[in-house]
Amino acid sequence: MVRYHAAWILPIAEPAIRNGWIAVDRGRIAAYGSPGPASRYGFGDGAREVDLGDVVVLPGLCNAHTHLELSYLRDEVPPASEFVTWIRGVMAARRSRPDPGGPEIVGAVHRALDEATAAGTAIVGDISNTLITFEPLARSALAAVVFYELIRFNAPDPAAVVEQAQQRLELLAPTARVRASLAAHAPYSVAPLVLRAIRKAIDRQPFLPCSIHLSESAEEVEFIRSGHGPWRTFLEEIGSWDPAWVPPGGSPVDFLDDSGFLDNRVLAVHGVQMTDADLRRLAARGTTLVTCPRSNGHTGAGAPPLAEFYASGVRVAVGTDSLASAPDLNVFAELATMRALAPRVPAASLLESATIQGARALGFDADYGTIEPGKSARLLAVTLPSSSIDVEEYLVSGIESAQIRWITGADGDN
């Protein structure tokens, strides 16, 4: 057993503890607390005592939405003022690059995993259209759900689309930490009957989460309401328009909820265009809203109404989105942008979003997301400029990889 002493322990499930300790045994958290009446090293239980100094110890973070397979597009897609313009940029960049299983693409996935880990990430919700990220994730130290994402607006045989996807998923062997599930791309890019078939497939599993991009752009809202606008033009241009499709009217959230798609297994990503009524509906369903504000700025979707997200009572998690729309995979950097957009949301709420909310949405909360006895000791120590600061506020001010180290209870830690 190793007992770490630190200027601060941040269990997430309770407020930060000054001059705390945490005992780790065989990779699991055994206990934690404040020093108590005994002297700092007076436990007398034979544990190895390690003083980490002016650091805060907290759970590894959850990046609840990213697309690791797009990592090779880093700095390749220029920022756009309209979402459809950005999508065109992604398609052009993908066309100019090699095949999806090529070494350039796989190499970029491995570098992205290293970068995410160095930035303090323990769990990812990874969206994939090719499943090439499953193997690298299974061999990494990260926990993950790989969402096999379907994108098919014009689908003559919707059941077959989902059936084929499930057959591909069955070929993947889940590990203790890495699972695969299904995702729909978005309500404007997946046919209603494909959405229904995905939802049915998810319902047949004991617990697997599902994901969908939702209410990201003004173009999406217009398309779902009226069937017109830049998205309709785009679908026609790429030959994916379905003349039999009838616009559902209402908001994208109304459409998905009326279709029976939303519940507490769903991660709804972005929500930039959600109204208060939309947020109330998501909260009532127990759906987790994953915010990726840096990506929203880059793609032209706009700034997410974060204060409204938190005021609505909806569960909020955090994602970086892909390196095609974000400068890095650092969840702490995403938190700093959230803090700038929502100065009145408590830092503790933002930190919950980056830990337990994401872990719960992805089904990893039994092992991750808080410091509690029995949970995995996949913990971060973040160097502080001084021990007498507001640590929660400091953690949402932008933390760099150089300030972060992992502690695991192994002998190398100090």
User: Which residues make up the interface to Zn ion (CB under 5 A)?
Assistant: 321
Q: Are 257 and 122 in contact (CB under 8 A)?
A: no
Considering the complex, what minimum distance in angstroms separates the CB of residue 161 from Zn ion?
20
- What are the phi and psi torsion angles at 404 (to 5°)? -110, 135
Considering the complex, what minimum distance in angstroms separates the CB of residue 292 from Zn ion?
7
- What are the phi and psi torsion angles at 5 (to 5°)? -110, 135
Q: Are 272 and 252 in contact (CB under 8 A)?
A: no
Looking at beta carbons only, is 215 or 370 nearer to Zn ion?
215
Considering the complex, what minimum distance in angstroms separates the CB of residue 79 from Zn ion?
16
Looking at beta carbons only, is 58 or 316 nearer to Zn ion?
316
Q: Which amino acid is at 292?
A: C
Considering the complex, what minimum distance in angstroms separates the CB of residue 210 from Zn ion?
14
* Whole-angstrom distance, CA of residue 361 vs CA of residue 312: 18
Looking at beta carbons only, is 66 or 251 nearer to Zn ion?
66
Looking at beta carbons only, is 1 or 132 nearer to Zn ion?
132
| E-strand stretches of 206-303 | 210-214, 266-270, 288-291
Looking at beta carbons only, is 262 or 347 nearer to Zn ion?
262
* Whole-angstrom distance, CA of residue 326 vs CA of residue 137: 20
Q: Are 247 and 226 in contact (CB under 8 A)?
A: yes
- Nearest residue to Zn ion by CB is 321
Q: Is 39 helix (H, G, I), strand (E, B) or coil?
A: coil
Looking at beta carbons only, is 149 or 365 nearer to Zn ion?
149
Considering the complex, what minimum distance in angstroms separates the CB of residue 230 from Zn ion?
19
Would you state the structure tokens that stand for residue 234, as one six-digit string?
Answer: 């785009």
Looking at beta carbons only, is 86 or 368 nearer to Zn ion?
86
Q: Which secondary structure element, helix H or strand E, spans residue 28, and what is its range?
A: strand 28-33
Q: Is 178 helix (H, G, I), strand (E, B) or coil?
A: strand
Considering the complex, what minimum distance in angstroms separates the CB of residue 314 from Zn ion?
18
Sign of CA dihedral 296, 300, 302, 303: positive
Considering the complex, what minimum distance in angstroms separates the CB of residue 97 from Zn ion?
18
